[in-house]
Amino acid sequence: MNKKLLTAAIILALVLGIAGAALAASSGGSSSSSDNQWKPPFMNLNLTDDQLSKLRDLRTEFFNKTQDLRSELQKKMFELSNLYLSNNPDQAQIEAKKAEIDKLRSQLKDLSEQSSQEFNKILTQQQKEQLSQMAARRFFGMGMGFGMGGHRGGRGFGCPWGAAQPSGATQ
- In one-letter notation, the amino acid at residue 10 is I
> Does 56 fall in a domain?
yes
Per-residue pLDDT tens over the stretch 10-69: 665 556 566 565 555 555 544 455 666 777 777 888 899 999 999 999 999 999 999 999
Q: Quick one: 11 and 45 in the same domain?
A: yes
Q: Quick one: 24 and 52 in the same domain?
A: yes
Q: Quick one: 84 and 45 in the same domain?
A: yes
The CATH number assigned to the domain holding 6 equals 1.20.120.1490
> What's the pLDDT at 135?
78
Q: Quick one: 87 and 103 in the same domain?
A: yes
Q: Which of 65, 166, 170 is nearest to 112 (CA)?
A: 65
Q: Which of 65, 76, 64, 120 is nearest to 100 (CA)?
A: 76
Q: Quick one: 118 and 134 in the same domain?
A: no
> Does 99 fall in a domain?
yes
**Which residue range forms the structural domain that includes residue 148?**
124-154
> Does 167 fall in a domain?
no
Q: Quick one: 43 and 57 in the same domain?
A: yes
Q: Quick one: 56 and 14 in the same domain?
A: yes
Q: Quick one: 132 and 117 in the same domain?
A: no
> What's the pLDDT at 131?
85
How far does CA 80 lie from the centroid of its chain? 24
| For residue 170, pLDDT beyond 50 | no
> Does 15 fall in a domain?
yes
The rounded distance, in Å, linking the Cα atoms of 114 and 139 is: 23
> What's the pLDDT at 86?
87
> Does 135 fall in a domain?
yes
> Does 57 fall in a domain?
yes
The number of helices, as runs of H, and strands, as runs of E, in the chain is 4, 0
- DSSP label of 153: T
Answer whether 125's CB lies under 8 Å from 117's CB: no
- In one-letter notation, the amino acid at residue 28 is G
b or e along 100-115 (b: 16 or more beta carbons within 10 Å of the residue's beta carbon)?
A: bbeebbeebeebbeeb
The rounded distance, in Å, linking the Cα atoms of 89 and 68 is: 28
**Number of domains composing the chain:** 2
Q: Quick one: 116 and 133 in the same domain?
A: no
Q: Quick one: 117 and 130 in the same domain?
A: no
pTM of the entire predicted model: 0.57
The neighbour count for residue 161, using CB atoms within 10 Å, is 24
Q: Quick one: 70 and 130 in the same domain?
A: no
Q: Quick one: 12 and 54 in the same domain?
A: yes
The rounded distance, in Å, linking the Cα atoms of 164 and 133 is: 9
> Does 171 fall in a domain?
no
| For residue 141, pLDDT beyond 70 | no
Per-residue pLDDT tens over the stretch 82-137: 999 988 999 999 999 999 999 999 999 999 999 999 999 999 999 988 888 887 77
